Amino acid sequence: MEKYGRKQELHTGTETEKLSAALPFWDKLSDAEQKLVREHTIVRVFDKNSTVFSRGSECLGFIRVLSGSVRTFLTSEEGREITLYHLRAGEDDVLSASCVVSQITFDTQMEAEEKSRILIVPSIVLARLKENNIYVRCMIYELLTRRFSDVTWTFQEVLFLRIDQRIASWIVQTCEQTGSTEIAVTHDQIARDINTAREVVARMIKRFSEEGLLRAGRGKIKVTDMEMLKNLCFNCRQE
Amino acid sequence: MEKYGRKQELHTGTETEKLSAALPFWDKLSDAEQKLVREHTIVRVFDKNSTVFSRGSECLGFIRVLSGSVRTFLTSEEGREITLYHLRAGEDDVLSASCVVSQITFDTQMEAEEKSRILIVPSIVLARLKENNIYVRCMIYELLTRRFSDVTWTFQEVLFLRIDQRIASWIVQTCEQTGSTEIAVTHDQIARDINTAREVVARMIKRFSEEGLLRAGRGKIKVTDMEMLKNLCFNCRQE
C-alpha cells in the first residue's frame, strides 16, 4: 500500500458515515446500497507529489478531494506530460475508475500536488452500483462529460493559443482563485501546468516584467497591471 | 433552411416510424414519449462539404448518420481547424445538442464529408426527454463519454506522435476500414484529418514512396508494404 505514497488510511465509522451521506447519488441508493457504500468508503492521505492513480496502480473508484489538490495528466511513451485538469477540495471525479467505464479507452495519471485527503468509494463498489442503479450510472457519465469539457479546453489552449496568452491566462485565473495579486509559484510549476518548457516560461515572465505587467522574484510573481494582463488572456476577455 | 446546405427534408410517416424504433433509448420511453419522438424525428440530407452544425446554426439534437460521413472539428479564432472525430453510417452523436447539456462548455462544428442522410431527434424534444426520463439522460452522457475518449486519443496523437506515425496510422486504419490497400484520397484530406499542413503530408508520402511502403498517384495511394507501415503506426502495434 505504501507504493503509491499513502501514509495513512482512515476508516472511522462516524467520519465515513458523514462523508458518504454527502455523495451526489446518496439519496438515490437503496438501504442495502447505502450500507455497502458506508462500509467500504475510505479516506486516504496522499503526500505531496505522490501518485494517486496511474496505469500500474489499482483502479480507484469514485473520488472526492477533501483537502489539497490533485493533478490529472497524460504521459507519452517518452515520458512527456500534458496536464489535463486539477481537482481541488470539494471536487468529485471518476476518471480514476476507468476500469468501471468501458467507454474510457485512454490512460490518465493523477498525483497529489500537495498533501491531500481523498474520499474513495472503491471501484468494486462503484461497479456494482453502476450495474444496478441507473442514477449512479447517470452520475458517473455526467461527471465524465464535465471532464470532457475540461480536457477539450486544455486541448484548445495548447493547440490554438500563443504562449503569452496561455501564461497570462494562467496568472489571471490563479489570481482570481486565490483573491490575491501575488502568487507563490516557480517557473517549473507554471510550465508543467500549461504544458510547455521551463525556459519558455522564464523568457515570457521576463518580457511581462519588462513591459510592466508584473514583478517577478524568486518563487513568486506580483501582478502590477491586471488590466493589461487580462487583455492578453484569452478566456478572460470573454467575461 | 437552405442556409446550412440542406437540400431535402424527408418526413414520411413510415420511414421515421421505423427509424425511431431503432433509437437506443426507444424501449425506455413511455407511450406519450414515443409519440413525441415519432412525430418530431426527421431525416435531412446534407450535401458534400455542407455545414451540419456550427456555433451560428441552431442546436440540432440527437443525430444518427444513416449514410455518408460527418466530420466534427474545433476552430480557432484565426480559423485553424482540428479534426476531433468522424461519424460514419450507423453512428449516434449528441454533441450537436450541446444546448441541452450544460456540462458541455466548448463549441464544435460538424460538416458532411460526402452527401449524407442524417436522422435528427430535435433538441427541443431531446431536452424534454432528458428532463423527465433518466434513461435518455443516461444515454446522452454515455454517448458523450465515448466522444471524450475519441477526443483524448486525437489529443494524444497530435501532441505526442511524430508526423510519420500519424500519417502511417491514418493509412493503416483507413485500409482496415475499407478492406482495401488502395485509398482514393488527396494530401489535403489527410492533412485536415490528422491536423497538419498539406506540404507536410506531401513530403512524408514522398518519403514513404521512396522507402517502398506505398505507391502514390494523383488522388490515390496504394500500400505495397503493409507490415512496414504497421511498424511505424502507433495504435496498430498494440493490436
A172-214 pLDDT, tens digit per residue, is: 999 998 999 999 999 989 998 888 888 889 989 999 999 999 9
Per CB-CB distance under 8 Å, the chain A contacts of B101 are: 145
Under an 8 A CB cutoff, do A148 and B147 touch?
A: yes
Do A147 and B148 count as a contact with CB atoms less than 8 A apart? yes
User: Which of B156, B188, B209 is the C-terminal boundary of a domain?
Assistant: B156
Q: Is B28:B133 a contact under the CB 8 Å cutoff? A: yes
What is the per-residue burial (b if ≥16 Cβ within 10 Å, else e) of B140-151? Answer: bbbbbbbbbbbb
Q: Chain B 9-68, CB below 8 Å of chain A: which residues?
A: none
Mean pLDDT, to the nearest integer, of B206-231? 92
* Residue B153 C-alpha, separation from nearest chain A C-alpha, in angstroms: 7
Residues B112 and B208 in one domain: no
Task: Judge if B133 and B226 occupy the same domain.
Answer: no
**Is residue B70 situated within a structural domain?**
yes
- A76 and A136 inside one domain: yes
Q: Are residues A40 and A110 in the same domain?
A: yes
Examine residue A182 and state whether it is found in any structural domain, yes or no: yes
The reply to whether B96 and B189 lie within a common domain is no
Q: Is 50 exceeded by the pLDDT of residue B165?
A: yes
Higher pLDDT: A19 or B115? It is B115
CA angle at residue B145 from A165 to B48, to 5 degrees? 80
Judged by CB atoms closer than 8 Å, whether chains meet at A151 and B152 is answered as yes
A173 and A65 assigned to the same domain: no
The residues in B 140-179 lying below 8 A from A, measured between CB atoms, are 141-142, 144-149, 151-153, 155-156, 158-160
Mean pLDDT, all residues of chain A? 88
CATH number of the domain to which A144 belongs = 2.60.120.10
Closest CA to B218 of B181, B171, B186, B189: B186
Tell which wins on pLDDT, B8 or B137. Answer: B137
Among B87, B97, B86, B90, which Cα is nearest to B137's? Answer: B97
Q: Which of B125, B156, B187 is the last residue of a domain?
A: B156
Q: 3-state class of A6 per DSSP?
A: strand
Q: Tell me: the pLDDT tens digits for B111-164?
A: 999 999 999 999 999 999 999 999 999 999 999 999 999 999 888 888 888 889
A:B CB pairs within 8 Å? 99
Q: Are residues B166 and B152 in the same domain?
A: no
Tens digit of each residue's pLDDT (9 = 90 or more) over B42-95:
999 999 999 999 877 888 999 999 999 999 999 887 778 889 999 999 999 999
A188 and A170 in a common domain: yes
Structural domain contains residue B239: no
CB contact under 8 A, A155 and B160: no
Any domain includes A33? yes
In a domain, B144, yes or no: yes
| pLDDT > 90 fraction of chain A, expressed in percent and rounded | 62
CB atoms within 10 A of CB B199: 10
Report if residue A239 sits inside a domain.
Answer: no
Same domain, A141 and A208: no
Report yes or no: A132 at the B interface, CB cutoff 8 Å. Answer: no
Domain match, B9 and B107 both = yes
Per-residue pLDDT, A87: 96
Residue B238, in any domain of the structure: no
Q: Do A37 and A16 fall into the same domain?
A: yes
From chain A, the residues in CB contact with B145 under 8 A are 101, 103-104, 141, 144-145, 148
The residue range of the domain holding B172 is 161-233
b/e A118-137 (16+ beta carbons within 10 angstroms → b): bbbbbbebbbbbbeebebbb
Smallest CA–CA distance, residue B118 to chain A, in Å, is 24
If we measure between CA atoms, which residue out of A151, A44, A197 comes closest to residue B151? A151
Nearest to A103 among B134, B149, B156 (CB): B149
**Whole-number mean pLDDT of chain B?**
88
Question: How far, in Å, are A88, A165, B101, B192 from residue B107 at the CA level?
Answer: 25, 20, 12, 18
Q: What is the pLDDT of residues A52-96, one digit of tens each?
A: 998 778 889 999 999 999 999 998 877 788 899 999 999 999 999
> How many domains does chain B contain in total?
2
CB B60 within 8 A of CB B111: no
Please indicate, yes or no, if residue B112 is contained in any of the structural domains.
yes
Name the residue facing B141 among A141, A158, A195 (closest C-beta).
A141
CATH number of the domain to which B229 belongs: 1.10.10.10
Q: Which among B132, B156, B180 is the end of a domain?
A: B156
- Cβ–Cβ gap B156/A104 under 8 Å: no
Complex ipTM value: 0.80
Spatial CA neighbour of A225 closest among A234, A238, A212: A212
B119 and B171 within one domain: no
Do residue A160 and residue B135 have CB atoms under 8 angstroms apart? no
